[in-house]
Amino acid sequence: MRLRSGRIDYVHRVLMERKLGRPLRKNEVVDHINGNKLDNRLGNLRVRDLTKHTRMHYHNGDYHKLTKAEMRRGAYTTNKKMGF
Q: What is the mean pLDDT of residues 46-67?
A: 71
Question: What is the Cα–Cα distance from 16 to 67, expressed in whole angstroms?
Answer: 33
Asked whether the whole model's pTM tops 0.75, one would answer no
Q: pLDDT by residue (tens digit) across 57-76? A: 666 656 556 666 766 666 65
pLDDT digits (tens, 9 = 90+) for 16-43: 999 999 999 988 989 888 878 888 999 9
Q: Are strands 63-64 and 45-49 parallel, antiparallel or unpaired?
A: unpaired
- Between CA 37 and CA 68 the distance in angstroms is 28
Contacts of 24 by beta carbon, 8 Å cutoff, 6+ apart: 13, 16, 17, 30, 47
